[in-house]
Amino acid sequence: MTDTIRWGILGPGSIAHKFAKGLAVIDDAELAAIGSRSLERANTFADAYGADARYGSYEELANDKNVDVIYVATPHPFHREHTLLCLEAGKAVLCEKPISINAQTTKEMVVAAQEKKLFLMEAMWTRFLPTLEKARQWIADGRIGEVRLVKADFGFRVGWNPESRLLDPNLGGGSLLDVGVYTISLANMIFGSAPNQVTGAAHLGDTGVDEQAGMVLGYPGGGLAVLCSAVRTSTPQEAHIIGTEGSIHIPDFWHSTTASLMVANEVVDQIDAPFQGSGYEYEAMEVHRCLRAGELESPVMPLQESIEVMEAADRLRGQWGFALPMERGMR
Ligand SMILES: NC(=O)c1ccc[n+]([C@@H]2O[C@H](COP(=O)([O-])OP(=O)(O)OC[C@H]3O[C@@H](n4cnc5c(N)ncnc54)[C@H](OP(=O)(O)O)[C@@H]3O)[C@@H](O)[C@H]2O)c1
């Protein structure tokens, strides 16, 4: 490992811009290379963020010897293929959320990383925010007693474009895989377990994807999560973690900069933590820590938990009769 950790970005689209802004505030991070399906797009992105190497194919990026870790930022149906490409070339990978489209493909990615003894992590960036770190600490310190209920929602209204990533099933469209996974991942993290009951209802819209969904997950010990996701309906995007002695309120939970600890309806503690960069720096800093420590996965976002989120999503989509085109014949 060099003094700086040299990053490559695979798929310089919308989220890659935010990630690059996060990397820019980390002293020991270097954005070294960009790989796109188009050299022109790679050049434009590389010029904007000062990356030296730019490639018109993902293969060339994966094989760049001056790159330590690759951030896979393509739409989720391609995460498996692109992650395997990078692992095959000996690169550590931070893969955007959802880590893949279902549990089966996620397990293939995990096995490949383990066989190659390479680092892999789902970019569930919310978990690394200071607010979520503080919430975990409040819970561990017993400040809200035993956690009984998690309520979380993540919905927004996208304009109607059936060919957009959020609505086109060929690009992995639908609210559950785009934003519902944040709520499930949060609930699984808080309860420290996969759910043993999974039920939900969804509205499948004109393109066949779930435009909105409501989910109830039950956990060993009786904990419950009541969650919803949407891509055609704006929701408050809040999380409430409710225990026997108090509760935690996290406004804008998936990109939160504040959280409050409440006891008897009074705020008794609070964290205000403005981002240093775009907010994506925290997950990248965890990747740095793991790479320097020789850890192949992060204890904050373990691979088994990424699999368990996908298993819950599979069960929900199974209930809704919603398979993506590339999954037909797979399950
Ligand atoms: N963490 C977060 O806050 C967050 C927010 C938004 C999205 N995401 C996740 O990040 C991933 C990408 O989302 P996005 O909104 O950035 O997507 P996007 O802008 O639509 O696509 C990202 C890039 O993927 C590449 N790509 C490769 N194959 C493609 C194909 N067949 N069709 C379209 N693009 C293709 C394209 O780059 P080139 O053609 O130039 O190679 C494209 O610019 C998704 O899995 C999404 O869930 C995460």
Give me the pLDDT at residue 257, please.
98
Query: Each residue of 33-90: pLDDT tens digit?
Result: 999 999 999 999 999 999 999 999 999 999 999 999 999 999 999 999 999 999 999 9
Q: Is 9 in the pocket of ligand 1 (CB under 6 A)?
A: no
From 297, 306, 255, 300, select the one nearest 101 (Cα to Cα): 306
Instruction: Measure 111 CA to ligand 1 centroid, in angstroms.
Output: 24
Q: CB of 228 within 8 A of CB of 213?
A: yes
| H or E segment to which residue 103 belongs | helix 103-116
* C-alpha span between 189 and 122 (Å, rounded): 14
Q: In ligand 1, which atom is closest to the CA atom of 35?
A: 41
Q: Is 46 in the pocket of ligand 1 (CB under 6 A)?
A: no
Q: What's the full length of the chain, in residues?
A: 331
Q: Is 154 in the pocket of ligand 1 (CB under 6 A)?
A: no
Please list, in sequence order, all residues whose beta carbon lies within 8 angstroms of the beta carbon of residue 94, skipping any fewer than 6 positions away.
69, 70, 71, 72, 121, 123, 283, 284, 287
Give me the pLDDT at residue 271, please.
98
Please state the rounded mean pLDDT for residues 232-255.
Answer: 98
pLDDT band at 328 (very low <50, low <70, confident <90, very high): confident
Q: Is 41 in the pocket of ligand 1 (CB under 6 A)?
A: yes
Q: Is 165 in the pocket of ligand 1 (CB under 6 A)?
A: yes
Residues of the chain above pLDDT 90, percent = 98
Supply the pTM of this predicted model.
0.98
What structural domains and CATH numbers belong to the chain?
5-126 (3.40.50.720), 127-279+309-327 (3.30.360.10)
Query: Each residue of 207-228: pLDDT tens digit?
Result: 999 999 999 999 999 999 999 9
Please state the rounded mean pLDDT for residues 239-249.
Answer: 98
Query: Each residue of 135-157: pLDDT tens digit?
Result: 999 999 999 999 999 999 999 99
Q: Is 8 in the pocket of ligand 1 (CB under 6 A)?
A: no
Q: Is 74 in the pocket of ligand 1 (CB under 6 A)?
A: yes
Relative to beta strand 92-96, strand 69-72 is: parallel
If one residue of 96, 170, 280, 326 were mutated to test the ligand 1 pocket, choosing by the most ligand atoms within 8 A of its CB, it would be 96
